[in-house]
Structure 1
């Protein structure tokens, strides 16, 4: 799906976009937000729906480009296994995030 048509969301996916007017979302314009929301918060049905629109290769590249940003460790490990993400890179992302939190604890 590479055009700018409005998207028909299944009910279980619509719930993830409680803060948006889902009728106004377009794939071409809102793709990054849609993928991020589903990868980070979606359940099984939402993930299946997303994978019917986007190939695993595209999802893998999307996560790699963003260095796993926004994903909690459990989700990141899940996608590491499912999409064959490089183990060392995932470890680096998680280690970096953990250290950032530690070093920011005293920041104003």
Structure 2
């Protein structure tokens, strides 16, 4: 899965362990959920950290929800769930990797 490089041009808030936004480990960095999207620090600025395409998480039998035990992260018009080091989002009867 590729990640689009889209700079978040006006972002005066500094994310970190005590900033109050959910932190989500994402590969070699940490994303912060803020205002329905994810921010990642990159070369001294903040990027929108979004997947570059549709990636289905095959054979995902676990059903995420309010009491599933995984961190819920608001993302646009839906909720992602952090599971096994990545985010899952429900989509058309299956789960996607975000």
TM (norm. structure 1) is 0.27
Larger radius of gyration: 1
Ranked by relative contact order (alpha carbons within 8 Å, sequence separation 6 or more), the top structure is 2
TM (norm. structure 2) is 0.29
Comparing both structures, which one devotes a greater share of its residues to helix? 1
